[in-house]
Structures are given as structure tokens and as C-alpha cells.
């Protein structure tokens, strides 16, 4: 039961990015810049944003932050997004989610310039992924693919199940697995007998957003299990999978915390670097 160590893989990726950032800065006279728009005072979002800026510093990137109050109107947020779109010093940026309830996250995504979409969530970038010609890809699915690659697992011809169909994880995850030559089934809240699907799969990516919903009976012996979920409980952090019950039954598994989570910021930086390179090549 090899546990997939997302922290160590993320560190390797960040070192590669740091080397590429140094080369970019030497050639172009400046490092890439990541922008973040944060609306409101959600504690988890504040932590995520701090981590993003700290990691930018570690790899030699610069960062720019716009902090808006909880009461920010639709028009005020749109003005901030358009300012980021037009800021020539910013290569890629994101609007930190979740937004306050009076703001529509889907609408806000449509305002983001796809050529600066560090999260890979705009309709245009999702469409390019569907077409098999991605500009940038949603960070969490991209990180999952990096973890699978790191353990040397060949997806060709494998049966894969993705549990969840969100545009942030499930949908792009299914596309990436398909493009890696896996045969993919997408399951969701309306799927009948979920375990009938998961226990036949060689690879299961669980992104359902329900704490410890799947145990040993849901997976076949030797399967590769990627747990995208993260939940705060009285017992601490946990994922969508019952890790302790499953870990000695499967072939590979990601822990929570320390699995997929560390990869997300690493992929955000990779996307920003890619957008910087594309931007200067225009």
C-alpha cells in the first residue's frame, strides 16, 4: 500500500518551477506575477491566499493581492476583475472562492480574461480542454495527474471512475483521464449503486464532497485511489475516503491531509508560469 506523498511531489514540482522562473526572469527581465482577488473575510480563504503568496516568493514569482470587503457589490467586483484583466504586470490571476452569497461565482468566472485564467476555470479554457488543446487546466485535476505520473502508473486501457462532476474537479478530471487513454465513468449524486462502479475500477478519483463516504467495500484490491475531499471534523481533517479502513486494501492511496492538497498551489504556479510564457510569445 504505497501512500502517495503529495507534499514531496509538490516540492519537486515547485523546484522545477523555480528553475524555470529564474530562466524566464533572466530572459524577460522580470519574474511572472500571480494576482489574487479576495472578497470578504472567510478564514479558510485568507489562509489559502497567504499560502499562495508565500509560495510565489519561494519560487521567485511576484504576487499582487486585491482585498475587497464582504459588502462588495457586483459592479465593484467586476471593476476589480477588469482591472486585473488590463494590468500588464499580472500574468495570471484568480478570484478566490467561495464568494459571499450575494455574488454569482459562475458569472464572475465569465469576466476573467481566459489568457490570464490561472485557475483554468473559464468557459473558454474548459472548452479548450474538451477539444484536447488546453491552454491551462483546473489546478486540482492537473495535480492529480501529476501524482499518478509520479508513481509511474500507466493509465492506458485502465478502468477509471470519477466520483463527482463539478467543473472545478470532476469534469476536467474525467477529460484528463480520457486523454491519458483510460476508460472513464463519471458518477455523481444521482448514480444508482455507486459501489458497483467503483469496485470494478482500477483507478478511482473521489471528489464528492462528503466526508468518509467510501470504505474498503467500495474498492477492488490493488486499486489506485485519489481522495480529493477535505473536511474539518471534531477528529481532525479527513477526506471522502475512510483512509484507515482502505489503506491496506488498495495499491496506492493519497492521504488527507498531505495528498492532493499540496499539489493544487503547485499547479496554480505552473499555470501562471505557462500563461506568462504564452503572454510574452504573443
Residue in the structure block whose three cell numbers are 489506485: 224
For residue 279, give the H/E element and its range: helix 261-281
Q: C-alpha distances in angstroms, 151 versus 9, 146, 148, 256?
A: 10, 9, 6, 18
d(CA 179, CA 191): 23
**Active-site residue (options: 117, 119, 227, 240):** 119
Active-site residue 12, yes or no?
A: no
Starting at the edge strand found earlier in the chain, the sheet holding 252-253 runs 183-187, 159-163, 203-206, 224-227, 252-253
Which one-letter DSSP state was computed for residue 34?
Answer: E
**Active-site residue (options: 14, 91, 96, 202):** 96
For residue 33, give the H/E element and its range: strand 33-39
d(CA 172, CA 121): 9
For 84, half-sphere exposure in the C-beta direction (CA atoms, 13 angstrom radius) is 31
Active-site residue 150, yes or no?
A: no
What does the block give as the cell for 8?
Answer: 514531496
In order, the DSSP letters of 201-270 are: -SEEEE----TT-B-GGGS-TT-EEEE---EEETTEEE-SB-HHHHTTTSSEE--TTTSSHHHHHHHHHH
Active-site residue 96, yes or no?
A: yes
Residue numbers annotated as active site: 52, 96, 119
Amino acid at each position: 500500500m504505497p501512500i502517495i506523498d503529495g507534499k514531496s511531489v509538490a516540492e519537486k514540482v515547485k523546484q522545477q518551477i523555480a528553475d524555470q522562473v529564474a530562466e524566464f526572469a533572466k530572459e524577460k527581465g522580470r519574474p511572472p506575477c500571480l494576482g489574487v482577488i479576495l472578497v470578504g473575510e472567510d478564514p479558510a480563504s485568507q489562509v489559502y491566499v497567504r499560502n499562495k503568496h508565500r509560495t510565489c516568493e519561494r519560487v521567485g514569482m511576484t504576487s499582487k493581492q486585491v482585498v475587497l470587503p464582504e459588502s462588495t457589490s457586483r459592479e465593484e467586483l467586476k471593476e476589480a476583475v477588469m482591472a486585473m484583466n488590463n494590468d500588464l504586470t499580472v500574468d495570471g490571476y484568480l478570484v478566490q472562492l467561495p464568494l459571499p452569497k450575494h455574488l454569482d461565482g459562475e458569472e464572475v468566472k465569465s469576466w476573467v480574461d481566459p489568457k490570464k485564467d490561472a485557475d483554468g476555470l473559464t468557459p473558454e479554457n474548459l472548452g479548450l480542454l474538451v477539444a484536447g488543446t488546453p491552454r491551462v487546466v483546473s489546478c486540482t485535476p492537473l495535480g492529480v495527474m501529476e501524482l499518478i505520473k509520479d508513481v509511474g502508473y500507466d493509465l492506458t486501457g485502465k478502468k477509471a471512475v470519477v466520483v463527482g462532476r463539478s467543473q472545478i474537479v470532476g469534469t476536467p478530471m474525467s477529460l484528463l483521464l480520457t486523454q491519458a487513454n483510460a476508460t472513464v465513468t463519471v458518477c455523481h449524486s444521482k448514480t444508482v449503486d455507486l459501489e458497483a462502479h467503483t469496485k470494478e475500477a482500477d483507478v478511482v478519483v473521489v471528489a464528492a464532497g462528503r466526508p468518509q463516504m467510501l470504505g474498503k467495500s467500495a474498492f477492488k484490491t490493488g486499486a489506485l485511489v485519489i481522495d480529493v475531499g477535505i473536511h474539518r471534523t471534531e477528529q481532525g481533517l479527513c477526506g471522502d475516503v475512510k483512509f484507515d479502513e482502505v489503506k491496506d486494501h488498495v495499491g496506492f492511496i493519497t492521504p488527507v491531509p498531505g495528498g492532493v492538497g499540496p499539489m493544487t498551489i503547485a499547479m496554480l504556479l505552473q499555470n501562471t508560469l505557462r500563461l506568462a510564457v504564452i503572454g510574452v510569445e504573443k
